[in-house]
């Protein structure tokens, strides 16, 4: 009997050791609360300088242009790392060695549709282990062990995202860029939709993970009889799109609550056809995760005209206020605000003031007279851009900066779009972005990175009457100009020039891209074929005539609801890519959520050529987010200088950094296998004009 007890004790100790020696990162954001925190401390402030490459995995999907990126935040379960490639393949690796176990190509037998993919979702019940992820307009259910489709789910392992939206969206653009979240046997899923006048609605759905059947839907644009319907014109729910959750969810499993950060209604910058407050646009919405019923909401922007989508998951935190511990929701925004709300009621823990802002000068537009601004904490991004803030580091650029600045409307953050040109600061990419925040539950400190990049938004008349060429120009203006610009020159990084497009593509190539989308570009299959043909001719500068005008384009068919469109997304930078405002251009911030005070704020990233001139680090535009560990470290890539950094969480000091083979524009992950801690990041590059890459790189301490 004594030997048996000894044997059982030995087995128990071995099992405990194995458990303690392994630490997963099983969910996008680290855990269901989206706190991006790990209790691992093997890598710490004392030894982080010893980090070295443990393994590197090449996806072999090297992007061919600036649109394909690896934004994936990988997950790790039971020693296996799951992620996605720039061409939307899903894969599984041995997390200790980087050796590939399997790879799944959703476009093996079809035309590829490329877009950002930030990861996958894992679910298990006994031996049934599944990976759920989206590519193009489909949701795929894979066996986590083999990568094979689970045929009992949906239609042979696939669900079309175009179905089950309570509205016919065939021909419209509905994909998903960020993983859904699991509650029991439900997958709660958002979407990315067009931001133009042809947008599908961004309703949130929950699917049975075992069967693929839709279990509930939450109408983010409410219909008759639903809460919030009165905040829209009567029939808006039939026509308006957007109000989608593209940035992910967080979940309070004990309370059975799921939290939705919603985007803006479409069209982004002109809202004559959606006058009103526009619930549930730009809201944090708490739903019953079992039923999809609304519990509360808080709107961060009323009648959004600035594309102020909530860009990242809310962090579910516990803070100390007035001597009490309070479960709360912390939401960072593109405007540079952090809203801290009671998790059960949605009420702000610090006062939020409705402040007045300017009226719109575009005929037909009625900007909402006030916007909510939290009193505490202070914004983590600057809110004003005055003439004295113009960048004078490069004297040759200053006159150009000054001229553009004086031509634009400037001042507050919520100046409505105009034909004069409106300075948007913080810019369209924040403030906060999709990389998310990291929260340390031991200290109640929130770590968040920020962009401080100004953009200029200019509205123009759509026009388009009188002859065929102007009609086709209208088609271009409505569908293409918002990204590629009225002049077809594109922007500095994300959207390519269409001038001399024939030197790069054939007409058939362009038709295929219009139909399928590519990179950040959605599909425009909904454009009538004859109109599409003439649009392609226009892009290739082939003259069209009134005689060949298709019936869909005849005079008098203009959409009167959209008389204005913007000229494109234009960063306010010089020829070197330096922003028009004085540094810092990117920061990392440590915010004490108990007090609402910042413990430190440091520039994040640098331009080496400026540093060589003795200019202190300026920070750079940054994409991807931080994680924080019990080892006292904040890990973050994200910066244009392509560095991966470990930062002392108490001081903001860089303790270790390494140059990646391409920019790490993704959020890292940390985990342990067999007692060894690893930190991994995707290095896909291409953002902000940097070189492409195809790597996942893991770092660890030497043996």
Question: What pLDDT sits at residue 492?
Answer: 55
Instruction: Tell me if residue 454 falls in helix, strand or coil.
Output: coil
Let me know if residue 203 belongs to a domain: yes
Q: Which residues contact 348 (CB under 8 A, 6 or more apart)?
A: 298, 339, 340, 341, 342, 374
Mind listing the pLDDT tens digit for each residue in 663-699?
999 999 999 999 999 999 999 998 888 999 999 999 9
Alpha carbon separation from 688 to 571, 596, 623, 672 (Å, rounded): 11, 32, 9, 32
Q: Which CATH number do you get for residue 512?
A: 1.10.760.10
Classify burial at 386, counting beta carbons within 10 Å of its beta carbon; exposed 0-12, middle 13-18, buried 19 or more. exposed
Let me know if residue 635 belongs to a domain: no
Structure tokens at 665: 């524009």
Q: Which residues contact 155 (CB under 8 A, 6 or more apart)?
A: 212
Determine what percent of the chain falls in helix, strand and coil, rounding each to the nearest 5.
15, 30, 55
Which structural domain range is residue 509 located in? 463-557
Q: Which of 507, 540, 557 is the last residue before a domain boundary? A: 557
Per DSSP, the chain holds a count of helices (H) and strands (E) of: 8, 41
Which range has the worst mean pLDDT, 226-240, 389-403, 474-488?
Answer: 474-488
Question: What pLDDT sits at residue 484?
Answer: 82
Structure tokens at 476: 């271009």
DSSP states along 344-408: TT--BSS-EEEEE-PPP-STT----SEEEEESSSPPSS-----GGGB--SSGGGHHHHHHHHHHS
Question: What pLDDT sits at residue 467?
Answer: 45
Mind listing the pLDDT tens digit for each residue in 94-107?
999 999 999 999 99
Let me know if residue 504 belongs to a domain: yes
Let me know if residue 188 belongs to a domain: yes
Let me know if residue 277 belongs to a domain: no
Longest dimension (CA), the chain: 99
First to last CA, the chain: 40
**According to the 3-state scheme, what is the secondary structure of 231-274?**
HCCCCHHHHCCECCCCCCCEEECCCCEEEEECCCECCCCCCHHH
Among 295, 296, 27, which residue's Cα sits nearest to residue 178? 27
Statement: residue 246 has pLDDT above 80: yes
Rounded distance, CA 696 to CA 698, Å? 7
Rounded distance, CA 540 to CA 505, Å? 10
Mind listing the pLDDT tens digit for each residue in 125-163?
999 999 999 999 999 999 999 999 999 999 999 999 999
Mind listing the pLDDT tens digit for each residue in 5-29?
554 444 444 444 444 589 999 999 9
Mind listing the pLDDT tens digit for each residue in 569-599?
899 999 999 999 999 999 999 999 999 999 9
Q: Which CATH number do you get for residue 143?
A: 2.40.128.630
Mind listing the pLDDT tens digit for each residue in 513-571?
887 776 567 778 778 887 888 788 778 875 443 333 333 333 333 456 678 888 888 99
Q: How many CB atoms lie within 10 A of CB 347?
A: 10
DSSP states along 297-356: EEESSSS-SS-----SPPEEEEEEETTEEEEEEEEE-TTS-EEEEETTT--BSS-EEEEE
Q: Structural domain tally of the chain?
A: 2
Question: What pLDDT sits at residue 496?
Answer: 77
The arithmetic mean of pLDDT across residues 363-391, rounded, is: 97
The b/e string for 14-30 (b: 16+ C-beta within 10 A; e otherwise) is eeeeeeeebbbbbbbbb
Mind listing the pLDDT tens digit for each residue in 188-232?
999 999 998 889 999 999 999 999 999 999 999 999 999 999 999
Let me know if residue 581 belongs to a domain: no
Let me know if residue 89 belongs to a domain: yes
Question: What pLDDT sits at residue 466?
Answer: 43
Let me know if residue 317 belongs to a domain: no
The b/e string for 224-237 (b: 16+ C-beta within 10 A; e otherwise) is eeeebbebbeeebb
**According to the 3-state scheme, what is the secondary structure of 144-172?**
CCCCCECCCCCECCEEECCCCCCCCCCCC
Rounded distance, CA 158 to CA 568, Å? 36
325 within 8 A of 43, measured Cβ to Cβ = no
487 within 8 A of 83, measured Cβ to Cβ = no
What are the backbone dihedrals phi and psi of residue 259, each rounded to the nearest 5 degrees, phi first? -115, 125
Instruction: Tell me if residue 535 falls in helix, strand or coil.
Output: helix
Statement: residue 471 has pLDDT above 80: no
Q: Which of 218, 235, 252 is the last residue before a domain boundary? A: 235
Rounded distance, CA 95 to CA 77, Å? 9
Q: Which of 210, 235, 260 is the last residue before a domain boundary? A: 235
Question: What pLDDT sits at residue 553?
Answer: 33
Rounded distance, CA 630 to CA 159, Å? 40
């Amino acid at each position: 009997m004594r030997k048996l007890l000894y044997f059982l004790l030995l087995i128990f100790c071995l099992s405990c050791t194995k458990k303690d020696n392994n630490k997963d990162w099983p969910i996008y954001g680290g855990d269901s609360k989206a706190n991006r925190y790990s209790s691992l401390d093997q890598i710490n402030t004392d030894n982080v300088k010893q980090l070295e490459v443990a393994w590197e995995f090449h996806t072999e999907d090297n992007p061919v242009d600036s649109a394909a990126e690896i934004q994936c935040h990988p997950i790790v379960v039971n020693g296996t790392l799951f992620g996605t490639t720039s061409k939307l393949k899903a894969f599984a690796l041995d997390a200790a060695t980087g050796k590939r176990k399997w790879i799944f190509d959703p476009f093996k037998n079809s035309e590829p549709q490329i877009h950002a993919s930030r990861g996958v979702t894992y679910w298990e019940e006994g031996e049934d282990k599944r990976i759920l992820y989206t590519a193009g307009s489909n949701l795929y259910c894979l066996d986590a062990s083999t990568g094979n489709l689970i045929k009992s789910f949906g239609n042979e392992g696939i669900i079309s995202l175009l179905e089950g939206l309570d509205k016919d969206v065939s021909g419209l653009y509905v994909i998903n860029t960020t993983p859904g979240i699991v509650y029991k046997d439900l997958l709660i899923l958002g979407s990315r939709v067009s931001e133009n006048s042809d947008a599908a609605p961004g309703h949130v759905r929950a699917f049975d993970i075992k069967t693929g059947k839709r279990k509930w839907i939450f109408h983010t644009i409410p219909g008759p009889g639903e809460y919030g319907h009165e905040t829209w014109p009567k029939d808006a729910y039939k026509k308006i799109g957007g109000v989608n959750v593209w940035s992910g969810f967080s979940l309070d499993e004990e309370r059975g609550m799921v939290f939705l950060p919603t985007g803006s209604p479409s069209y982004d910058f002109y809202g004559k056809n959606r006058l009103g407050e526009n619930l549930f646009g730009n809201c944090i919405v708490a739903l019953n995760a079992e039923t999809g019923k609304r519990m509360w909401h808080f709107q961060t922007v009323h009648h959004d005209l600035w594309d102020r989508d909530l860009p990242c998951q809310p962090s579910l935190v516990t803070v100390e206020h007035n001597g009490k511990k309070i479960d709360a929701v912390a939401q960072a925004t593109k405007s540079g605000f952090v809203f801290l709300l009671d998790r059960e009621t949605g009420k702000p823990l610090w006062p939020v003031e409705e402040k007045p802002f300017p009226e719109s000068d575009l005929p037909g537009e009625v900007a909402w007279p006030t916007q909510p601004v939290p009193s505490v904490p202070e914004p983590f991004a600057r809110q004003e851009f005055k003439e004295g803030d113009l960048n004078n580091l490069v004297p040759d650029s200053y006159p150009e900066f000054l001229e553009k600045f004086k031509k634009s409307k400037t001042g507050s953050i919520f100046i409505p779009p105009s034909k004069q040109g409106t300075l948007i600061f913080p810019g369209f990419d924040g403030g906060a972005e999709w990389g998310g925040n990291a929260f340390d539950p031991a200290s109640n400190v929130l770590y968040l990175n920020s962009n401080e990049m100004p953009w200029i938004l200019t509205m123009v008349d759509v026009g388009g009457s009188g002859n065929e060429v102007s009609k086709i120009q209208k088609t271009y203006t409505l569908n293409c100009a918002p990204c590629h610009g009225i002049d077809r020159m594109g922007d500095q990084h994300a959207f390519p020039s269409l001038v001399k497009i024939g030197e790069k593509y054939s007409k058939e190539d362009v038709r295929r891209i219009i139909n399928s989308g590519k990179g950040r570009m959605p599909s425009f299959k909904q454009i009538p074929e004859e109109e599409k043909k003439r649009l392609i001719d226009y892009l290739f500068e082939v003259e069209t005539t009134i005689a060949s005008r298709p019936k869909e384009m005849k005079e008098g068919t203009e959409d009167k609801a959209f008389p204005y469109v913007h000229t494109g997304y234009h960063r306010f930078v010089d020829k070197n890519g330096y922003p028009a405002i004085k540094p810092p251009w990117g920061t990392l911030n440590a915010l004490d959520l108990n007090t609402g005070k910042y413990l430190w704020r440091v520039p994040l990233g640098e331009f080496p050529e400026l540093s060589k001139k003795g200019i202190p680090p300026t920070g750079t535009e940054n994409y991807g987010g931080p994680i924080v560990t019990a080892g006292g470290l904040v890990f973050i890539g994200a910066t244009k200088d392509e560095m991966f950094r470990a930062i002392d969480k108490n001081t903001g000091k860089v303790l270790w950094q390494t140059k990646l083979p391409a920019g790490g524009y993704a959020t890292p992950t940390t985990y342990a296998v067999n007692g060894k801690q690893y930190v991994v990041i995707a290095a896909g590059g291409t953002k902000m004009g940097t070189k492409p890459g195809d790597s996942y790189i893991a770092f660890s301490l030497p043996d």
